[in-house]
Chains A and B, each alone.
Chain A
């Protein structure tokens, strides 16, 4: 199946700094990618839809100025958590639909810890 690579796997940062998370589709092109957030023992909550060459679409309640999304190419989307605070600590996961759009493939996730 299609492979979605996410990097880094985990990151620890100081409060007030920014963190960038990368999501790459390795063997297919993705005009759309999705970013999810997951708190411990909870479900995945969709944060935003990343669209190649255009602005991301954010879900209700997600601060677009805090969670910057860039989808500059057909294989790469990035999520930047700006001015991170401890409450931003979470597991962030990206996903992309495979060829034909029927299946959604997920990256391995990024555990962000803000001190």
Chain B
């Protein structure tokens, strides 16, 4: 019940296209849903996050859509750029600050 399922495992997008990564969870006790971007050999960096009382949050080219009833949330990267090529992790937080990570999506953006 503490799992966060993430898909797809890998994603190839052309420059300028939209990248969409999906996550689903079961535990309704999760209270915070961040997305992290990780480059090879580096620690994850917080990209954008949302709380379950909000259905959408946008920051620049990055948007989180949150469907509380379906227990699903997704990351949309608009106008994808080669520099966005990285591994993306969704996560869900329990009230103890403990984060449960999704399995990751490797995004490749080709020019």
Contact = CB atoms under 8 A, between A and B. Distances in A.
Interface string B71-111: 00000000000000000010001001111111110100000
Given A43-B89, A44-B89, A103-B49, A49 B44 contact: no
Interface residues of A, number: 26
A43 B44 contact: no
Nearest to B95: A101
A93 B104 contact: no
A1 to B, nearest CB: 7
Q: Tell me the interface secondary structure of chain B in the complex.
A: strand
A104 interface: yes
Contact of A104 (B41, B42, B97, B103): B97
Contacts of A42: 103-104
Interface in A24-48: 32, 34, 41-46
15 contacts: A44-B44, A49-B96, A91-B41, A93-B43, A95-B99, A102-B32, A102-B49, A103-B34, A104-B46, A105-B46, A106-B45, A107-B43, A108-B42, A108-B43, A109-B43
7 smallest A-B Cβ distances: which pairs? A106-B43, A109-B43, A108-B43, A97-B97, A44-B101, A43-B101, A43-B103
